[in-house]
Amino acid sequence: MALEEVIHARGHENVRAEHASTFEVTTDDYLTPAGDCILAIEADRAPSDFDPDFVAACQDTDATITVEIEADGHVESVTGRGDPHLEFTNDRSAVGRTSEYVDDRTILLEAEFAAEGFDRDLVAALADGAEATVTITVE
């Protein structure tokens, strides 16, 4: 059975989604042009808020984790895998990675693509400040 966590956030004029190995959603209320992996800000939840059962499911080596981002009618999803080392303890940011690097912000590993791979219409909507719904599913 799939478990899911939903984060509500919004875009920002500095959303560029150009990073080649990560994508991020943050609770921060600002975004500098240097934050080229960030897709949305002002997230209402962070990994430390996720349900323990959800976290435990993500800590399975065989877990498939999918992150879907919807904004202004545009939807994109990216899939990666879980890992026993995932902590889900960060209270600011959720980061998806194409690599196997784990820190307290990491929510999935070996993602199919990073920020640069997201649909450009979705990225444009986020850059216009659109409301975003981020749904993270683990199976």
Give the dihedral sign, CA 89/91/94/100: negative
Token reading at 36? 């080229």
Query: Model confidence at 55, in pLDDT bands (50, 70, 90)?
Result: very high
Please give the Cα distance from 107 to 136 (Å, whole number): 9
Residue numbers of the domain that contains 41: 3-138
Token reading at 106? 């990491």
Tally the domains of the chain. Answer: 1
Average pLDDT, the chain: 98
Check residue 1 and give its pLDDT.
78
- Tens digit of each residue's pLDDT (9 = 90 or more) over 94-120: 999 999 999 999 999 999 999 999 999
Phi, psi (degrees; rounded to nearest 5) at 103: -135, -175
In CATH, what number is assigned to the domain containing residue 40? 2.60.120.630
Going by their DSSP bridges, the two strands 106-108 and 93-97 should be labelled as parallel
Report whether 74 contacts 122 (CB < 8 A). yes
Closest by CA position to 116, among listed 46, 42, 26, 38: 38
- Tens digit of each residue's pLDDT (9 = 90 or more) over 62-87: 999 999 999 999 999 999 999 999 99
Provide the terminal-to-terminal Cα distance of the chain, rounded to the nearest Å: 6
Cα→Cα distances 111→23, 31, 78, 82, 125, Å: 9, 23, 7, 10, 22
Phi, psi (degrees; rounded to nearest 5) at 125: -60, -45
